[in-house]
Structure 1
Amino acid sequence: MGGQDDAEREFDLRWAEGAVHKEPSARARMLAARWKENPPAPQPFRADPDPVGGRRSSWVSTVIVLGAVAAVIVLLGWAGFRAPF
């Protein structure tokens, strides 16, 4: 903020946050207008009716990660063994 020092800026923030009337955001106004005419259907808390795809076991993920790390170690060891000194 151009020429304002910290004390002036702090005063401005306190003044703005202490406002009696706070206007809702554009998105809040849009949703309120839309829901007034067509209210949304009630949803259960954290609803996930149809999960996407199967979930792998944690062991499968662990084996994949450890296999990739082992492959990188072997590849680096092979490259180091073949490198001229």
Structure 2
Amino acid sequence: MPEQDDDQREFDLRWADSAEHKEPSARARMLAARWKENPPEPVPFRGDPGPVAPRRSSWLSTVIVLGCVAAVIVGLGYTRFMAPY
């Protein structure tokens, strides 16, 4: 099958774009059939995200992490101090 030159290909694109009737995609046909029987409920442009759980303070997280690091340092120092030489 010989390759089409650019002019012929552009002609084909213009011809396809100027078609009076364009067949919808399979998904569009499926949704149209489904919505004919059971139409979707209207949805606002930006829906309400719903209730949001309160966030804990970032300071609390920082204190917990630093406390764990300090406990590990003290624990390692204590075991080193108690270990016989």
CA drift at 1:25: 0.6
Bigger Rg, which one: 2
Shift of the 52–35 alpha-carbon distance from structure 1 to 2, 3 Å rule, reads: farther
* Coordinate RMSD, CA, aligned: 2.5
Q: Deviations over 1:38-83 (max 9, x none)?
A: 011111112143377778xxxx8xxxxxxxxxxxxxxxxxxxxxxx
Percent of matched pairs sharing the same residue: 75
Q: What is the alpha-carbon distance in structure 1 between the residues aligned to residue 54 and residue 14 of structure 2?
A: 51
4+ aligned runs moved over 4 Å, structure 1: 51-55
In structure 2, the partner of 1:18 is: 18
Q: Which amino acid aligns with 1:23?
A: E
Q: What is the alpha-carbon distance in structure 2 between the residues aligned to residue 5 and residue 51 of structure 1?
A: 60
Q: What is the alpha-carbon distance in structure 2 between the residues aligned to residue 54 and residue 11 of structure 1?
A: 61
Aligned residues: 55
Q: Deviations over 1:6-57 (max 9, x none)?
A: 00000000000000100111100000000000011111112143377778xx
TM-score by length of 2: 0.55
Runs of at least 5 residues in structure 2 that lack an aligned partner in the other structure:
59-85
TM-score by length of 1: 0.55
Shift of the 22–44 alpha-carbon distance from structure 1 to 2, 3 Å rule, reads: same
